[in-house]
Amino acid sequence: MSHLIGTYACKADPKGRIKIPAALGKQLAGARQQAFVVKRAVFQPCLELYSLAEWNALMEKVNKLNRFKKKNNDFIRRFTAGVKIVELDATDRLLIPRDLARIASIEKEVVLSAAVNIIEIWNAGLYEKAIDEAAVDFAALAEEVMGDDGDDVS
């Protein structure tokens, strides 16, 4: 699931299942035979969907943390709180667990947004609000994050 592209408006059915759009499904082709991991996001009121391979790579990093430091244990507990394994069904639907759907306010109108190697799962209204709020400082943020080319002579 590396370098995913696109933002997709979807609908969740009353059971919390989201039909994966065909264009996104093609990008997930290599990962769809495996399970996925869904968890709450750290910085936003949304969920994150990882392929099992991406999740395992991330857990390798987390596993290197010294568990005899309280802040590391606290981080691991919070980071993995509510993590669930999910699978696509035969009709390419993803069942969002109710507890996670409640945390992220996932209801009928949903946005699936590719975020490099994961998919963010948003309540559509919260997604639009987050995009609007981020637009205010995006130029400054882009310069700060991506603008340092190492050639600055200060």
Q: Residue 145's pLDDT is what?
A: 86
Count of beta carbons in the 10 Å neighbourhood of residue 93: 17
Q: What's the pTM?
A: 0.86
Q: What is the C-alpha to C-alpha distance for residues 24 and 103, in angstroms, rounded to an integer?
A: 24
Domain 7-146 maps to which CATH number in 3.40.1160.10, 3.20.20.70, 3.40.1550.20, 3.40.50.300? Answer: 3.40.1550.20
Task: State both tokens at 69.
Answer: 């430091």
pLDDT in tens, 107-122: 999 999 999 899 999 9
**Better-predicted residue by pLDDT, 84 or 148:** 84
89 pLDDT above the threshold of 60: yes
Instruction: Convert 64-74 to b/e letters by CB count within 10 Å (16 or more is b).
Output: eeeeeeeeeee
Q: What angle do CA 13, 15, 21 make, to 5 degrees?
A: 40
| Three-state secondary structure readout of 94-146 | EECCHHHHHHCCCCCEEEEEEEECEEEEEEHHHHHHHHHHHHHHHHHHHHHHH
Residue 116 falls in which region: left (phi positive, over 0), alpha (psi -120 to 50) or beta: left
- Mean pLDDT throughout 66-81? 95
